[in-house]
Amino acid sequence: MLRVLLVDDEPFILQGIKMLIDWEQEGFEIAGMAANGKEAIAFLEQEEVDLIIADIRMPEMTGLELLETIKREKLSNAYFVILSGYADFEYARRAMQNECTEYLLKPIDREMLLKLLEKVYTMRSQDRELDKKRKEQEKAYFSRNVIALIHGKYDDFNLEYVKQHMKNIEGVRYVEIQKAQSEEMDESIEKDMRNFQRELYQCCIEFLKEDANHCVFDVSANEKIYDIGLIFADGMAQKLGLDERAYLEKFYQYLVNNMKQPLIMLVGKKVSDINSISKSYGNTCMLRSFQGFRAQKSIYFYEDEVQVSCNKIVLCKESLDRLIGTIEQNNYIEIKKAIELFYQEMGNMGMNSETMTLNINYFLFRLIHLASEQDDDVNQQEILRLISESSFESGIMRGSKAHLASFACEYAEYLFQLRKNVSRGVLGMVEKEIRESFASNLTLKGLSEKYYVNSAYLGQLFRKKYGQSFKDYLNNYRIEQASNQLIHTDKKIIQIAEEVGYHDLDYFVNRFIQVKGCTPARFRKQMFEE
């Protein structure tokens, strides 16, 4: 219902207007009545309305003075309608020059009033739609700046913009929230997972309330993760009288209770302020990558996973070094034998979560070092991406011997190709595939199988040549093709999205904003305006 304020110094006119029509039937309600402009201002300081209908001649403050005061002091964005007689035409004309919406002649005609209300209702609906789009664009722009900080790819402008729009920026952690992996998840189509991701995001927003801008959708932009990012700050917990762990556990329970699905939280190490949030984000990437070897939990805290007590904790260094040696040799048979020996030793020592954590951390960090020795350009984030995307994408038999064997063999092949630099011109073929089949379901894994190259190694070659991941390159290429169609055709946006390979319109719009800085509709409009 749209709220209306009636202003007139004659009570019978106020009552007459009130009784003239069925306001509720027209989608309006009388929020208040005032005898003059000063009373109206006092009302507007306490209440919000959508429409003000005011007599042009009133004692103490005229309708025209009321209008000018409202505009000057920005008291309300309500539509303003002047009541006037024929003799007040010049006043009415001045009012129209001061952004008055309309004027009505006395005595008020029922049909004229109904037409006015219909006009105001339509205008308010249009305003709300424009305001909604504006807020969505502002939100997307803010998210882009936050994501830039999270990934450590920001400048002073990004930093200052975020600081201006985010209250709690000290004592922060990056928290990744996502659906817990399961065998059923592998069969889920992308659209279902994206829908779940959006629902999870809305659920996060509802819990966070005034801190909603701390929540970011799809930080990783990885089709296998479907994550929600949270920049947690100490002040968020303090407002509720909780410590950080109690707050995150409360948050987690709220999400699980509402989503009715198992979730996980990966909590990075605390950093002093938002300037260093990328370090905490790197911690969560590591937690995600190593997660497959751990006992499943609801919430993984970085400190808990990397700190291991010395009491009765044994590092099976000899067994692990033997396994690492077989991986270096790319010998699948010996790899499986070495894994059997490792598990036997772990079993003999009485394997527990702390023991497994220590041993697996040693194993994985040694593998990262091996890759770095082969190629100076290889960074830890790249290897963590390999571990996360290549080896754990199925989520089947997590932490089992079979799982570890699969990972070890995959990594052995990666090291072999890294060592031999086995490209065979494959990048040219992949680039050709993108140009010719960008709208189809192209994946790095599928192309690696087609051209007999390890997927992780292919991904690394791609990043070294193009300065971005295969996924980003493909997305950017698709967006450029969509941009051309927006400029040179009159096709609907949903049709263009489908033709360039996006079957989820919201996902397409989100990606378009990330690349072009505005929505597809805005992009098309700007191009035609130029």
Greater model confidence, 170 or 2: 2
**Can you read off the two tokens belonging to residue 238?**
């303090």
3-state secondary structure (DSSP) of residue 22: coil
> Rg of the chain over CA atoms, in angstroms?
31
Residue 86: Cβ-neighbour burial (10 angstroms; 0-12, 13-18, 19+): exposed
pLDDT at 530: 56
Residue pair 299/265 in contact by the 8 Å Cβ criterion: yes
* Residue 184 CB partners (closer than 8 Å, separation 6+): none
Residue pair 91/84 in contact by the 8 Å Cβ criterion: yes
pLDDT at 3: 95
- What confidence tens digit (pLDDT) does each residue in 25-70 have? 999 999 999 999 999 999 999 999 999 999 888 888 888 889 889 9
pLDDT at 350: 60
pLDDT at 20: 92
Phi then psi for residue 267, to 5 deg, are -110, 115
Position 529 confidence tier, pLDDT thresholds 50, 70, 90: low
pLDDT at 172: 92
pLDDT at 371: 73
3-state secondary structure (DSSP) of residue 482: helix
Q: Which domains are assigned to the chain?
A: 2-129 (3.40.50.2300), 168-305 (3.30.70.270), 308-421 (no CATH), 426-530 (1.10.10.60)
* Residue 519 CB partners (closer than 8 Å, separation 6+): 133, 136, 137, 140, 509, 512, 513
State the angle between helix axes of 505-516 and 190-208 in degrees (0 to 180), rounded to the nearest 10: 70
- What confidence tens digit (pLDDT) does each residue in 173-196 have? 999 998 886 544 444 466 788 888
How much of the chain is helix, strand and coil, in % rounded to 5? 65, 10, 25
Report the DSSP beta bridge partners of residue 53. 6, 81
Complete DSSP assignment for 156-221: HHHHHHHHHH-S--EEEEEEEEEEPP-TGGGG--HHHHHHHHHHHHHHHHHHHGGGGGGEEE-SS-
- What confidence tens digit (pLDDT) does each residue in 316-327 have? 888 888 998 898
Q: How far is CA 418 from the centre of its chain?
A: 34
Q: Is the whole model's pTM more than 0.85, yes or no?
A: no
d(CA 520, CA 514): 11
User: Which stretch of 50-64, 151-165, 352-366, 443-457 has the lowest confidence by average pLDDT?
Assistant: 352-366
pLDDT at 248: 95
pLDDT at 444: 81
User: Which stretch of 65-74, 248-257, 413-422 has the lowest confidence by average pLDDT?
Assistant: 413-422
- What confidence tens digit (pLDDT) does each residue in 371-391 have? 766 665 555 555 666 565 544
Report the DSSP beta bridge partners of residue 230. 175, 215
pLDDT at 237: 93
pLDDT at 396: 34
pLDDT at 183: 45
Greater model confidence, 399 or 495: 495
